Amino acid sequence: MEIKTVGMVGLGTMGAGIAQLCLQAGFETVGREISPAAAERGHAQIKRFLDRNVEKGRMTAEERDAALGRLTLTTELEDLAGCDIVIEAIVEQLEPKRQLFAALDEILAPGAILATNTSALSVTEIAAATRRADRVVGLHFFNPAPVLPLVEVVRGQLTDEAVAQQVYAFAKAIGKDPILCHDTPGFVVNRVLIPVLNDAVRVIDEARVTPEDLDKACRYGLGWPLGPCALIDLIGVDVQVHASEALFEGFKESRMAAPARLVNMLNAGLLGRKSGRGFFTYDEQGNRVD
């Protein structure tokens, strides 16, 4: 099946960014959210970034308007029935993703592809909730999706190789530089990154260093473009904790487990940029104010 129409379930930060890429690349895109208000917030975010592209000369106003014209908003899963590929970017928890994929499996045409933007959960376990495990693939974008070039195309245990290659080509078509890998906890990037970030957070307490100074040390001492605390705030403390849980479940290595400091921040609702406060404080536009 040729990919012409894309479904996007979840229009939060990641979902809106992925939808923007699809619209810019010329794909008709159906964005589904749980409420009209959430859908409108997603639309506003997409428009804001497209407006910025116009301001910076990356596209014309006519191209922006044409891209927005390819977007359809809905709160009904059934409106995704005509999509050739549906990408989910909902909460990073296994059971909600499995429930969503089971529902989509009943709605979509037999040849349609299901893709999950999970950062660390098992693509194979998500696919097992459907009767089309051969047509389920991981499609892991990095935040911010419109900016960072990498996408991990993850084969589940039963993913058909032709489907993986088709999704790889789709990722290139929307302007990304993808890599292919197999399903393993954390895939490639997070298998390396998540335990490193956890170690960095533990250093805060072990070395009694401030988050500001830890970030300064990693930026100027290790050449990181962004310090670990600022990076976790960008990723989301909740995402870091859930990814850590998935890695620990898979490998049973203590450094994979989320540090107590991160778990306490999650329980307190200090999620980073998305909540306005994490290691640092942010305004409504996501700019640091401390």
Is 182 catalytic? The answer is no
CA 36 – CA 50 distance, rounded (Å): 21
Which residue out of 88, 152, 198, 245 is catalytically annotated? 152
**Cα–Cα separations (whole angstroms), residue 275 to 215, 225, 258, 281:** 20, 23, 19, 9
**Tokens encoding 194:** 């998540």
Q: Which of 88, 117, 140, 242 is catalytic?
A: 140
Q: Which of 117, 190, 198, 244 is catalytic?
A: 190
Does residue 95 have an active-site annotation?
A: no
Residue 119 known to be catalytic? yes
- Residue 254 annotated in active site: no
Question: What is the SS3 assignment for 239-255?
Answer: HHHHHHHHHHHHHCCHH
Catalytic one of 88, 117, 119, 242: 119
Q: E strands within 19-83? A: 28-32, 71-74
Report residue 173 as tokens.
Answer: 């078509």
Rounded to 10°, the helix 189-206/260-267 angle is: 90
Handedness of CA 81, 84, 90, 93 (dihedral sign): positive
| Residue positions annotated with a catalytic role | 119, 140, 152, 190
